[in-house]
């Protein structure tokens, strides 16, 4: 199938179906946040917007990448999130690459955010939706991040429905510069398990769908059973 693999700067039109990839770490973190009880993630375009949203909505929490900072409740680290209890909470997320990529395609009729931990459900949902050609947004390094490209290509292969060996794709991600930086502790807001947590396949049974709700871009988990007939539907444009 004629999929496109593009960086954020190459996004010149509104895709019909967009899958925004950020393995390290935004959309691994988002999946972990949902697994810890977060009900929805509101994507913010700036840190000040994230803080303003938190302040104006009782009970909302804010997460950003980089070092911990005043006003923020969490950082962009799966290792640091996995023991938190976020039951029923709304989380506002702002990161350098992942959330920027998702907001860049927010007007597309179908937008999924993905990483290896939700790769299988993401591919199954795209099959169920009969999605056709997908625009994969490779968020890292202007579209050249090897971990994101490997994950995008892995999901594209799994969309075909056949068995796909994960090892070569994971190897590319494990040997990426982002993985090396994470493993070496060069990223702020970091846990030593982060790189490995980002390199797990199908940890969670849901895909993550971004939709416009009121004036926000909101990410929610959508359960995708192995034999799903459930459709999420696309917005008409």
Ligand X SMILES: O=C(O)[C@H](CS(=O)(=O)O)OP(=O)(O)O
Residues within the interface to ligand X (CB under 6 A): 22, 24-26, 65, 76, 95-98, 140, 187
Asked if 22 is part of the footprint of Mg ion (rule: CB under 5 A), the reply reads yes
Query: Out of ligand X, Mg ion, none, which partner does residue 187 contact, by CB within 5 to 8 A per kind?
Result: ligand X
92 strand-pairing partners? 42, 62
> HSE on the CB side for 8, CA within 13 Å?
19
Candidate ranges 13-21, 138-146, 155-163, 197-205; the one touching Mg ion (CB under 5 A) = 138-146
Instruction: For residue 114, give the nearest of 207, 33, 25, 3 by alpha carbon.
Output: 207
Q: Tell the smallest beta-carbon distance from residue 173 to ligand X (Å).
A: 13
Do 201 and 88 contact (CB within 8 A), yes or no?
no
Asked if 78 is part of the footprint of Mg ion (rule: CB under 5 A), the reply reads no
- 177's CB contacts (< 8 A; 6+ apart) are 141, 146
Residue holding tokens 């929805």? Answer: 40
Specify the DSSP class assigned to residue 133: S
Tokens of residue 184, six digits:
């070496």
For the chain, state the CA radius of gyration. 16
Query: Out of Mg ion, ligand X, none, which partner does residue 96 contact, by CB within 5 to 8 A per kind?
Result: ligand X
Query: Out of ligand X, Mg ion, none, which partner does residue 64 contact, by CB within 5 to 8 A per kind?
Result: none
Q: Which is nearer to Mg ion, 17 or 97 (CB)?
A: 97
In degrees and rounded to multiples of 5, residue 152 shows phi and psi of -60, -45
Sign of CA dihedral 88, 92, 98, 100: positive
Asked if 143 is part of the footprint of Mg ion (rule: CB under 5 A), the reply reads no
Q: Tell the smallest beta-carbon distance from residue 188 to ligand X (Å).
A: 7
H/E run at residue 41: strand 40-43
Size of the site for Mg ion (CB under 5 A): 4
Asked if 97 is part of the footprint of Mg ion (rule: CB under 5 A), the reply reads yes
Give the number of other Cβ atoms within 10 Å of residue 87's Cβ: 9
Q: Which is nearer to ligand X, 34 or 164 (CB)?
A: 34
* Near Mg ion by CB under 5 A: residue from 17, 19, 21, 24: 24
Q: Tell the smallest beta-carbon distance from residue 235 to ligand X (Å).
A: 25
Asked if 140 is part of the footprint of Mg ion (rule: CB under 5 A), the reply reads yes
Query: Out of Mg ion, ligand X, none, which partner does residue 95 contact, by CB within 5 to 8 A per kind?
Result: ligand X
| Contacts to Mg ion by CB under 5 A | 22, 24, 97, 140
């Amino acid at each position: 199938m004629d999929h496109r693999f593009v960086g954020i700067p190459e996004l010149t039109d509104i895709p019909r179906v967009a899958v925004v990839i950020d393995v390290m770490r935004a959309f691994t973190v988002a999946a972990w946040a949902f697994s810890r009880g977060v009900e929805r993630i509101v994507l913010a375009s700036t840190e000040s917007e994230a803080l303003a949203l938190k302040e104006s909505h009782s009970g909302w929490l804010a997460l950003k990448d980089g070092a911990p900072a005043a006003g923020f409740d969490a950082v962009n680290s799966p290792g640091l999130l996995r023991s938190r209890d976020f039951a029923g909470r709304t989380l506002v997320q702002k990161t350098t690459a992942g959330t920027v990529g998702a907001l860049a395609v927010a007007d597309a009729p179908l937008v999924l955010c993905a990483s290896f931990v939700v790769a299988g459900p993401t591919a199954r949902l795209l099959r169920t939706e009969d999605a056709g050609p997908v625009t994969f947004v490779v968020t890292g390094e202007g579209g050249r991040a090897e971990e994101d490209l490997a994950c995008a290509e892995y999901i594209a292969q799994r969309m075909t429905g056949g068995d796909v060996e994960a090892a070569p794709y994971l190897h590319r991600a494990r040997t990426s510069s982002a993985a090396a930086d994470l493993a070496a502790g060069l990223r702020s807001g970091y846990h030593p398990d982060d790189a490995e947590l980002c390199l797990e396949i199908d940890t969670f049974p849901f895909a993550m769908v971004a939709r416009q709700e009121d004036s926000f871009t909101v990410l929610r988990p959508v359960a995708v059973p192995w034999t799903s007939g459930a459709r999420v539907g696309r917005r008409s444009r």
